[in-house]
Amino acid sequence: MRLYRMRTHTESTESVEPVRVTVVVGSNREGRFGPVVAEWLLNRMEKRDDVVAEVVDVADTALPTTFATDADAKAQLAAITPKLASADAFIVLTPEYNHSYPAGLKNLIDWHYTEWQAKPVAFVSYGGVSGGLRAVEHLRQVFAELHATTVRDTVSFHNAGASFDEEGQLRDPSGPDAAANVMLGQVAWWGRTLREGRAARAYGG
* Contact present, 118 and 194 (Cβ < 8 Å): yes
Q: What is the pLDDT of residues 1-14, one digit of tens each?
A: 443 333 444 444 34
pLDDT tens series, the chain, 205 aa: 443 333 444 444 346 899 999 999 999 999 999 999 999 999 999 999 999 999 999 999 999 999 988 999 999 999 999 999 999 999 999 999 999 999 999 999 999 999 999 999 999 999 999 999 999 999 999 999 999 999 999 999 999 999 999 999 999 999 999 999 999 999 999 999 999 999 999 998 6
Nearest Cα neighbor of 127 from 153, 154, 94 is 94
Q: What stretches of the chain adopt beta strand conformation (E)?
A: 19-25, 51-57, 89-94, 120-127, 149-150, 155-158
Global model pTM greater than 0.75 = yes
* Contact present, 90 and 55 (Cβ < 8 Å): no
- Collect all residues with Cβ–Cβ distance below 8 Å to 203 and sequence separation of at least 6: 117, 118, 147, 197
Burial of 50 (0-12, 13-18, 19+ CB in 10 A): middle
What is the set of domains in the chain, with CATH numbers? 24-199 (3.40.50.360)
- Collect all residues with Cβ–Cβ distance below 8 Å to 164 and sequence separation of at least 6: 36, 40, 170, 171
Q: Which residues pair with 127 in a beta bridge?
A: 158
